[in-house]
Chain A
């Protein structure tokens, strides 16, 4: 198999006496969707935080595109091709959709703050940035809301914007934390379509509670309970895993 784009080895995170994530290892490959499922409090979001650099791991190592990135801050991982969306919608509410996307799309230059040219030019006249934002706008199906203030959007559309902003940074690795949370059936269908499209060309980690969506999309599934991985494999293997059935699916579907 090819080199994983993102590889985590024995990541752990301790909050005081609580071991929220306990020695989790996983690899994300291009063109593959890796879903992480588990009951509430299993440590899925904490794991996402560790992978994205939102919080630093107590122990364990992380590689991005073959480069060791353990302990790198959030923004540096992002600049190097790792994009993530949040479980709780985390967009710039007072800004218009287009402004949100432009802000995301222009975040490519680590030296920009020190460059006087960036104090003077205009983002909307930079064709590269505009093309990036335009692509994210189209892919996420937000064209109709381009000039709407984010705060005025419905929850479902805000969730789409959440993803669109990640896409505007042109990441190679996508970490999506419950993109379907709180969505209506029609909205969810649109989002699932989008995730399906994004599987191509990206290495994706999807944390999700919607089992139908997960089993429809995932190439690989990891099941977490109490911070520990109890099973990992293809959707078929997971479906037939007795541990998983006992710990999770059994409770949910019985």
Chain B
């Protein structure tokens, strides 16, 4: 059975303070940091959007998708296809199209997968994302295993994503909008119904909810938001390859959500930043004897996730919440 009020409808003071300070820091950061760090934080914010989009399924609706990267990667490919060789695509056109594309594919796949439950849902979402992965991996026309380059980053309305600061603030605005949208959704009639479906799907049906349509809408919305993140990722990195839709990327999203704490959106956000920070810490570990600690960062990350799951089942957010340590 799920823990009471796992949603943290009202975030604890400590979390509110942390998020406010975090937002200020993010607003000020490009003035202080070098380009390298600006790019690093942009990446963190993109992953945070991706992580929050998965939380809508995993934490709020109780649908653990192991194929969420498919929609992330697809939106990146949409940008790659729409980008001319020598100029930037208009983001005012390509961004909505990328989100729409990801949402449409999520809608079609969602129709088939949200009928399943538990372990079957996990397996079927993974199977579909692997199909998408191999569709791109095996087709030269779609870029094949090497992927596609986006030679010039998107530009529109005077905002040129070639400029790292512009891309940074563009991403920050998206991050804030997605966060506010999902926090509001959490306590909306729709979000409360999703919560009910997670707790007791059968009873929600008895009350008159068509749980299929709710889960399908959540799945599509989550796919659309993952698409937003994937678009920004492609815009930042300048290329896309099938790995963006791969199993590892999907698992990455799940780990970010678990690390931060599921079901309250803020946790997924914190988890994404936490994951990236820990990753950089672990990658910078020194060589000890003949053993390169930094090279094996995934080992330390794995141990950290295990540790978090054991001592803080509600993730990093759970640690910040008074009285949450008692099981």
Contacts and interface: CB of A to CB of B under 8 A. Distances in A.
Interface string A23-66: 00000000000000000000000000000101000000000000
A106 B192 contact: yes
A123 B191 CA distance: 10
B200 A90 contact: yes
Contact of A151 (B4, B196, B208): B4
B188 A90 contact: no
Interface string B203-224: 1111111110110110001000
B5 to A, nearest CB: 7
A94 B199 contact: yes
B188 A52 contact: no
B208 A120 contact: no
B210 A113 contact: yes
Interface string B181-201: 100110111111101100110
A94 B1 contact: yes
**Interface-centre pick from B4, B191, B203, B208 (highest chain A CB count, 10 A):** B208
A108 B207 CA distance: 9
A118 interface: yes
B78 to A, nearest CB: 23
A74 B6 contact: no
The prevalent SS among residues of B at the interface is: helix
B199 A74 contact: no
A71 to B, nearest CB: 15
B208 A93 contact: no
Contacts of A79: 208
B1 A91 contact: no
Contacts of A92: 196, 199-200, 203
B287 interface: no
B189 A121 contact: yes
B34 interface: no
A75 B192 contact: no
A191 B292 CA distance: 70
Interface in B1-46: 1-6
A90 B202 contact: yes
A119 B192 contact: no
Interface string B263-291: 00000000000000000000000000000
Contacts of B206: 52, 54, 74-75, 78, 84, 86, 90
14 contacts: A76-B210, A90-B203, A94-B6, A94-B199, A99-B192, A103-B196, A103-B207, A106-B193, A107-B208, A112-B190, A119-B184, A122-B187, A122-B188, A151-B4
Interface of B: 1-6, 181, 184-185, 187-193, 195-196, 199-200, 202-211, 213-214, 216-217, 221
